[in-house]
Amino acid sequence: MKFKIPLTVISFIALAAILIITSGCEKDDPAEKPSLTTAAVTEIAQTTAKSGGNITDDGGAPVNARGVVWSTSQEPNVTNNEGITNDGEGTGQFTSNLTGLQHETTYYVRAYASNSEGTSYGNQVSFSTEGIPLYNLTLEADPQEAGTVDGAGEYPEGEEVALTATAEEGYQFVNWTDGDDTEISDQENFEFTMPAEDVTLTANFFVSDGTTSTVNDIEGNIYKTVYIGGKKWMAENLKVTKYNDESEILTDITETEWEENEEGAYAVHPHEDEYGGIYGIDSEEEMIDAYGLLYNWYAVDDERGLCPAGWRVASKDDWDELVDYLVSEYELHNDGGNQDPEGVGNALKSCLQVHSPLGGECDVSKHPRWDSHGTQYGFDQFGFSALPISGEVAYNNFGILGNNAKWWLSDDADWAEIEAYVTLILGSSPYIMESSYFKTNRLPVRCIRD
Q: pTM of the full predicted structure? A: 0.63
- In which domain, by residue range, is 111 found? 35-128
In this structure, the strands spanning 134-142 and 199-207 are parallel
> Does any domain span residue 28?
no
| 225/353 same-domain check | yes
| 374/431 same-domain check | yes
| 327/427 same-domain check | yes
| 201/297 same-domain check | no
The rounded distance, in Å, linking the Cα atoms of 11 and 20 is 14
| 44/168 same-domain check | no
pLDDT tens, 14-31? Answer: 555 554 444 444 445 789
Q: Which residues pair with 347 in a beta bridge?
A: none
> Does any domain span residue 5?
no
The rounded distance, in Å, linking the Cα atoms of 308 and 396 is 30
| Residue at which a domain ends, from 154, 179, 207 | 207
DSSP letters spanning 172-236: EEEEEE-TT--EEESSSEEEEE--SS-EEEEEEEEEPTT-EEEEE-TT--EEEEEEETTEEEESS
CATH of the domain at 79: 2.60.40.10
> Does any domain span residue 16?
no
| 372/440 same-domain check | yes
CATH of the domain at 147: 2.60.40
| 238/385 same-domain check | yes
> Does any domain span residue 13?
no
| 79/193 same-domain check | no
Query: Any idea of the CA torsion for 61, 65, 67, 71, to the nearest 10 degrees?
Result: -110
| 335/279 same-domain check | yes
| 344/247 same-domain check | yes
Mean pLDDT within 111-132: 96
Task: List all residues 6 or more positions away from 45 whose beta carbon is below 8 Å from its beta carbon.
Answer: 129, 130
> Does any domain span residue 104?
yes
Mean pLDDT within 108-121: 97
Query: Residue 206: which pLDDT band, with cuts at 50, 70 and 90?
Result: confident
pLDDT tens, 401-424? Answer: 899 999 999 999 887 789 999 999
| Residue at which a domain ends, from 149, 174, 207 | 207
| 110/145 same-domain check | no
pLDDT tens, 30-73? Answer: 899 999 999 999 999 999 999 999 999 999 999 999 999 999 99
pLDDT tens, 133-144? Answer: 999 999 999 989
**Residue 22 confidence (pLDDT):** 47
Total Cβ atoms within 10 A of residue 38:
21
Query: Residue 6: which pLDDT band, with cuts at 50, 70 and 90?
Result: low
| Residue at which a domain ends, from 183, 207, 231 | 207
DSSP letters spanning 81-137: -SEE----SSSEEEEEEE-SPPTT-EEEEEEEEEETTEEEE---EEEEPPPPPEEEE
- In this prediction, what percent of the chain has a pLDDT beyond 90? 78
Whose CA is closest to 55, among 67, 70, 43, 69?
A: 67
Task: Provide the domain count of the chain.
Answer: 3
Q: Residue type at 63? A: V
